[in-house]
Amino acid sequence: MAHRILLLDGSPPLVAALRRFLKGAEFEVQVASPSAGLARIDPSQFSVAAIRPATPEGKAAFEALRAADPSLPVVLLVDEEAEPASRLPADGTLVAPLTRTAVVSLFRALARLRAETDLGRTLARQLATYPAALPDYEFVKKLLLVEVKRSRRYHYPVSLALLAVDGWHDRAARLDEALRSALLGELLALVASGMRDIDLPLLYDGERILVFMPHTDALGARTAAERLVKRARAHPGGLTASVGVSTYDGEGTMSFASLVRGANDALLDAQARGGDGSAHAPGRKSREREPAT
20-27 average pLDDT score: 84
Q: Look over the chain and give the mean of its residue pLDDT values, rounded to a whole number.
A: 81
What's the pLDDT at 275? 94
CA distance 240 to 232: 6
What's the pLDDT at 229? 94
SS (H, E, C) 56-87: HHHHHHHHHHHHHCCCCCEEEEECCCCCHHHH
User: Residue 214, preceding bond cis, omega within 30 degrees?
Assistant: no
Check: CB of residue 62 under 8 Å from CB of residue 90. yes
User: How far is CA 135 from its chain centroid?
Assistant: 22
170-174 average pLDDT score: 87
Please state which of the ranges 6-10, 128-132, 229-233 shows the lowest mean pLDDT: 128-132
What's the pLDDT at 82? 61
Residue 139 in this model has a pLDDT that exceeds 80: no
Percent above pLDDT 70 for the chain: 84
Type of residue found at 153: R
> Is 225 or 54 the better-scoring residue by pLDDT?
225
Residue 124 in this model has a pLDDT that exceeds 60: no
Identical fold at 3-127 and 137-288?
A: no
* Range from 78-92, 133-147, 195-209, 230-244 that averages highest in pLDDT: 230-244
What's the pLDDT at 143? 74
Residue 86 in this model has a pLDDT that exceeds 70: no
pLDDT digits 0-9 by tens, 101-113 = 999 999 988 888 7
CATH hierarchy code of domain 137-288: 3.30.70.270
Check: CB of residue 244 under 8 Å from CB of residue 281. yes
Residue 118 in this model has a pLDDT that exceeds 50: yes
DSSP string, the chain: -PEEEEEE---HHHHHHHHHHHTTTTEEEEE--TTTSGGG--GGG-SEEEE-TTSHHHHHHHHHHHHH-TTS-EEEEESSTT-GGGGSS-SEEEESSP-HHHHHHHHHHHHHHHHHHHHHHHHHHHHTTSTTTSPPHHHHHHHHHHHHHHHHHHT--EEEEEEEETTHHHHHHTS-HHHHHHHHHHHHHHHHTTS-TT-EEEEETTTEEEEEEET--HHHHHHHHHHHHHHHHTSTT---EEEEEEEE-SSS---HHHHHHHHHHHHHHHHHTTSSEEEEPPPHHHHHTSPP-
Please state which of the ranges 19-28, 167-176, 281-290 shows the lowest mean pLDDT: 281-290
Residue 127 in this model has a pLDDT that exceeds 60: no
Check: CB of residue 179 under 8 Å from CB of residue 169. no
pLDDT digits 0-9 by tens, 238-287 = 889 999 999 998 777 778 888 999 999 999 999 999 999 999 998 644 33
pLDDT digits 0-9 by tens, 141-160 = 777 777 787 787 778 899 99
pLDDT digits 0-9 by tens, 30-71 = 888 776 656 778 888 899 988 887 777 778 888 888 888 888
**Where are the chain's structural domains?**
3-127, 137-288
> Is 2 or 12 the better-scoring residue by pLDDT?
12
3-127 CATH, one of 3.40.640.10, 3.30.70.890, 3.40.1710.10, 3.40.50.2300:
3.40.50.2300
